[in-house]
């Protein structure tokens, strides 16, 4: 399988308490495939604030420290909104396999945001696998992605 991301760099992973169980499952999935990762937390199910985990993941992606990012929270809205504050980050909420594929192919997303309360067990792994193996199509989509950044 071809991966468009530089997987010699780690994958940045983070979640709040609502996404904790799926984060742990995804870490096991990544370990099983031999992919390097950085776990930015949280490390248990105690209530926490999602920006405390979304910002470090987005910073790692933005700086090039990480190849791409995976964020989870209850709805994925909070982590996506937070991550998208970072220049160069394109965080996409995905709750299905086709959305994960389109986020990469059409939007060149570099962080997948998964709504833990709205996906079934096993679906997160499928979406991450599709996300990390789908290349950006470029072409007409390049023009659109180039227009995303704010120019102050």
Taking CA atoms, 87 is separated from 33, 41, 65, 91, in Å, by 30, 22, 15, 11
pTM score of the predicted model: 0.95
CATH top-level class for 11-146? alpha beta
- 106 flagged as catalytic: yes
Spell out the per-residue pLDDT of the chain, length 152, in tens. 678 899 899 999 999 999 999 999 999 999 999 999 999 999 999 999 999 999 999 999 999 999 999 999 999 999 999 999 999 999 999 999 999 999 999 999 999 999 999 999 899 999 999 999 999 978 888 888 887 887 75
Annotated catalytic residue within 2, 106, 141, 152: 106
| Distance, C-alpha 6 to centroid of its chain | 15
Identify the helix (H) or strand (E) that includes residue 128: helix 123-133
């Amino acid at each position: 399988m071809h991966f468009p991301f530089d997987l010699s760099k780690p994958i940045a992973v983070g979640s709040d308490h609502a996404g904790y169980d799926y984060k742990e499952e995804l870490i096991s999935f990544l370990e099983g495939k031999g992919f390097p990762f950085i776990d930015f937390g949280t490390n248990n199910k105690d209530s926490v604030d999602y920006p405390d985990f979304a910002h470090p993941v987005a910073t790692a992606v933005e700086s090039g420290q990480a190849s791409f990012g995976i964020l989870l929270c209850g709805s994925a809205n909070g982590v996506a909104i937070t991550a998208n504050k970072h220049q160069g980050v394109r965080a996409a909420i995905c709750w299905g396999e086709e959305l994960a594929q389109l986020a990469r192919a059409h939007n060149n997303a570099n962080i997948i945001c998964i709504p833990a309360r709205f996906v079934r067990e096993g679906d997160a792994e499928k979406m991450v696998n599709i996300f990390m193996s789908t290349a950006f199509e470029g072409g007409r989509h390049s023009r659109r992605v180039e227009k995303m950044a704010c120019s102050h």
